[in-house]
Amino acid sequence: MSDLSSYEAKIRAAASPAELDVLELDVFSRKHGALTLALKDLATLPAAEKVKKGQELNHWKTVLTDALTERRRTFTAQSVGTLASEDKLDVTLELPPRPRGHLHLIPEFIRQVDDVFARMGFQFVDGPEVESEKYNFNDLNIPEHHPARDSQDTFWLMGNEGETDPAKRFVLRTHTSGVQIRYASTHKPPFRIIYHGKTYRKDSDATHSPMFHQFEGMMVGKDVSLANLKAVLVTAMRELIGRDVEFRFRTGFFPFVEPGLEMDMMWQGDESESREGKWLEMGGCGMVHPNVLKNCGIDPDEWQGFAFGFGVERPLMIKHQIPDLRSFYHGDLRFLRQF
Ligand code: PHE
């Protein structure tokens, strides 16, 4: 039986499942297996030897079957272990950060404007960037020969030549104030509205750009006052800038408000900034001129209100201490990613 006993050691030392399969056939194959052949030989033995040999073969059958099972189990365990270590899915693993986009500063600020004014009861309305002379100037009480209408300041659309009706002469709106007229002439007071968008003027330097954004509001009611205007603006600007900024109101002239005011904020750049300690104009405001109410079909003896029109870029310059307004439009990702 030395033959069969040698198989035990071979099985235990088998290096792979394939090797194990070969060994299994060597022992148990019905045609040539060593054990099968030995069992066949039993029949040729004398009765006395048969019993002893039979017991011995049975012993080896059990031993070799167990050895095969055990060796197989170690291979299975190893392969599961390999799978677990090579193809593992670790849900706790931290992934490398993925670049994420975000809104540009300007639309982000405009959304905040909507949000802050909505909480004060203002309703969002909209108007076109190509505006008629009537809405951009005439109905806002801006006289025919006012310098604002000058082609030095205003982008006039081609095709106005020969047209005399101001409702049919068009400009790229120089401010968002035309939306006041559009809304007030089609709605009954009381109302509170907020609107914003792109505006165009022939201006370009560190604090002016030929295209810039404004947000503007109007509130009309029975007893809306200048005190209400200040309260609304100070509340909104503090919230939009996100900290307490120094501001001041000074008288300003706009044909569509009386009295008219301008709101300035203190530039708070660091010491090295040239603008340190200077006032930056945020925009204009005031009580709606009676002529404007009349132009909209609203009786100025019964109703009164305020309006304001602010730049979007200016408060953002203050908020983030950006010295040059033109940086907003350069599309330089090193600039944009800071915010
Ligand atoms: N439209 C004015 C401007 O563009 C701002 C303004 C709006 C002033 C409303 C008073 C009232 O400068």
pLDDT digits (tens, 9 = 90+) for 287-326: 999 999 999 999 999 999 999 999 999 899 889 988 888 8
- pLDDT score of 282: 92
Q: Inter-axis angle of helices 2-13 and 47-86, to 10 degrees?
A: 10
Could you give the number of structural domains in the chain? 2
- Please say which residue of 85, 117, 151 terminates a domain: 85
Cα 307 to ligand 1 centre (Å): 8
Pocket test for ligand 1, best of 146, 256, 258 (most atoms within 8 A of CB): 256
- pLDDT score of 66: 93
Cα 277 to ligand 1 centre (Å): 25
Cβ neighbours for 321, distance < 8 A, ≥ 6 positions apart: 268, 269, 270, 273
Return the structure tokens found at 36.
């099968």
Shared domain check, 165 and 265: yes
Residue 330: what are its φ and ψ, rounded to 5°?
-75, -15
Q: Decide which of 147 and 7 is more confident.
A: 7
* Residue 79 belongs to some domain of the structure: yes
Return the structure tokens found at 289.
């001129």
Shared domain check, 288 and 155: yes
Shared domain check, 73 and 154: no
Shared domain check, 181 and 239: yes
Cα 245 to ligand 1 centre (Å): 21
Cα 160 to ligand 1 centre (Å): 25
- pLDDT score of 49: 87
CATH value at residue 198: 3.30.930.10
Cα 254 to ligand 1 centre (Å): 7
- pLDDT score of 258: 97
Cβ neighbours for 333, distance < 8 A, ≥ 6 positions apart: none
- Residues 60-89, mean pLDDT to the nearest whole number: 84
Cα 320 to ligand 1 centre (Å): 24
Residue 237: what are its φ and ψ, rounded to 5°?
-65, -35
Length of the chain: 339
At 36-61, the pLDDT tens digits run 988 888 888 888 888 888 899 999 99
Q: In what order do the strands lie in the sheet with 123-124?
A: 123-124, 191-200, 211-221, 304-311, 279-288, 257-266, 247-251
- pLDDT score of 276: 53
- pLDDT score of 287: 98
| DSSP-assigned states of every residue in 268-293 | ---TT-TTTT-EEEEEEEEEEPHHHH
Shared domain check, 329 and 200: yes
Give the domain range for residue 115: 107-336
- pLDDT score of 81: 75
Ligand 1 pocket: which residues have CB below 6 Å? 175, 177, 216, 254, 257, 283-286, 307-309
At 217-268, the pLDDT tens digits run 999 999 999 999 999 999 999 999 988 788 899 999 999 999 999 999 887 6
| pTM value surpassing 0.85 | no
Residue with tokens 């530039």: 267
Res 148 pLDDT > 80: no
3 state SS of 334: helix
Nearest to 6 by CA among 34, 28, 36: 34
Shared domain check, 127 and 42: no
Pocket test for ligand 1, best of 131, 177, 258 (most atoms within 8 A of CB): 177
Min mean pLDDT across 11-15, 64-68, 203-207, 293-297 is at: 203-207
Shared domain check, 53 and 130: no
- pLDDT score of 275: 53
Beta carbons within 10 angstroms of residue 243's beta carbon: 9
At 167-225, the pLDDT tens digits run 999 999 999 999 999 999 999 999 999 999 999 999 877 778 899 999 999 999 999 99
**How far is 334 from 339, CA to CA, in rounded Å?**
10
Shared domain check, 68 and 119: no
Return the structure tokens found at 193.
């509205």
Shared domain check, 133 and 76: no
Return the structure tokens found at 200.
């165009």
Min mean pLDDT across 79-83, 134-138, 171-175, 285-289 is at: 79-83
- pLDDT score of 146: 84
Q: Which atom of ligand 1 is nearest to the CA of 260?
A: 10
Shared domain check, 172 and 308: yes
H runs (alpha helix) in 87-199: 105-119, 133-136, 178-184
- Please say which residue of 85, 120, 138 terminates a domain: 85
Pocket test for ligand 1, best of 175, 180, 257, 281 (most atoms within 8 A of CB): 175
* Residue 29 belongs to some domain of the structure: yes
β-pair type (211-221, 130-132): unpaired
Cα 255 to ligand 1 centre (Å): 9
- pLDDT score of 205: 79
**How far is 221 from 304, CA to CA, in rounded Å?**
6
**How far is 171 from 173, CA to CA, in rounded Å?**
6
Residue 254: what are its φ and ψ, rounded to 5°?
-140, 130
Shared domain check, 126 and 74: no
| DSSP-assigned states of every residue in 81-114 | HHHHHHS---TTPPPPPPP-----HHHHHHHHHH
- pLDDT score of 273: 53
Burial class (CB in 10 A: 0-12, 13-18, 19+), 142: buried
At 263-281, the pLDDT tens digits run 998 876 655 555 556 888 9
Residue 58: alpha-carbon gap to chain centroid: 76
Res 121 pLDDT > 80: yes
Shared domain check, 192 and 50: no
Q: Whose CA is nearest to atom 7 of ligand 1?
A: 309
* Residue 90 belongs to some domain of the structure: no
Q: Whose CA is nearest to atom 4 of ligand 1?
A: 175
Cα 8 to ligand 1 centre (Å): 99
- Residue 214 near residue 109 (C-beta atoms within 8 A): no
